[in-house]
Amino acid sequence: MSSEDDVTKLTATKRKWAAEGKFLTGRISRPDTERLPPGQHLVKNWPVLDLGQQPEISPLQWRLDIRGEVESPLTFTWDRFLALPQRDFLSDIHCVTTWSRYDNHWRGVSVRDLLDLVHPRPEADAVMLTSYDGYTTNLLLSDFASEEALLATHWEGEPLTAEHGGPMRLILPHLYFWKSAKWLTRIDFLRRDQPGFWEKNGYHMRGDPWAEERYSDD
C-alpha cells in the first residue's frame, strides 16, 4: 500500500472517530488539580504517529520561513536557528488518541524568543504551521505564545529523530499533541484562525486536553 493510500485510510478512520465521538468521556478535569487529562492513559514509550511520511531533512536543506502579519519576516537556516538562545524545558505530552507521557526533557528555541524577533502585528490573531510533509495545523496566537511553547531540536539529551519530527518540531504541552507540528518549515501569522489538516477532518480548532476538545462541535 502506498503512503497516499495510508493517509486516505488514516483520514477516513479519524473522521469516523470524530463523527462517533470516540474516546470522549464527558468528564472535565483541571490542570491545577489533576495531571492526567480525562480519557488519557500513561505510556512510557513514545508512540509514532504521522501521515505515512517521515521526511529526512539535512541541515543544509532545512529552512524555517516566518511570514504573514509580522513586522520582520525571517528565514532561518539551520546554523542561524541554532545561534538563537537555547533553552531547556520539562513537560508532559498528551495525544488525542488517548496516550500521555510524563516528564519529557526538551531543548530548543523558546517561541517567545522567536516572537521577539519577528514582532507580530497587532492584527495577528492566529498562526498556521506547515511541515515538510505538507501537514498543517492552526493555533491561536495566544496559545502559540505560551510560556512553555518550544521549537524543539532535542529530546532526552539527544537530537530529535526523524520519526519524532527532527530536526525541529513544535512542542506545545497544554494542547493535544497533533497541534505540536513535526518537521516544521513555515509559520504564517494570520488575522483570523483557519483550520489545518485535521481540523478540516473533524478535529477541534483548539484541542485543550483538560476540556476534552478532541473533535469539532460542528
Q: What percentage of the chain reaches a pLDDT higher than 70?
A: 83
Measure the CA–CA gap between 133 and 122, rounded to whole angstroms: 31
Would 48 be classed as within a structural domain?
no
Position 2 pLDDT exceeds 60: no
pTM: 0.86
Higher pLDDT, 61 or 20: 61
Look at residue 148 and tell me if it is in a domain.
yes
| Predicted pLDDT of residue 1 | 40
List, edge to edge, every strand of the sheet that includes 184-190.
74-77, 63-68, 184-190, 126-131, 136-140
| Residue 125, domain extent | 37-43+57-211
Any domain includes 20: no
Helix, strand or coil for residue 217? coil
Q: Does 165 reside within a domain? A: yes
Higher pLDDT, 8 or 89: 89
On whether residue 49 sits in a domain, the answer given is: no
Residue 29, pLDDT score:
62
- Cβ atoms of 184 and 169 within 8 Å: the answer is yes
Domain for residue 121, yes or no?
yes
**pLDDT given for residue 5 in this prediction:** 56
User: Residue 10 pLDDT > 90, yes or no?
Assistant: no
Gyration radius of the chain over CA positions: 17
Domain presence at residue 161: yes
Residue with cell 515538510: 132
Q: Is the pLDDT of residue 7 over 60?
A: no
74 in a structural domain: yes
Q: List the single range of 26-35, 110-119, 197-206 with lowest mean pLDDT.
A: 26-35
Is a pLDDT exceeding 80 seen at residue 117?
yes
Q: Give the chain's domain count.
A: 1
pLDDT in tens, 164-192: 999 999 999 999 999 999 999 999 999 99
Mean pLDDT score of the chain:
90
Q: What is the CATH number of the domain that holds 164?
A: 3.90.420.10
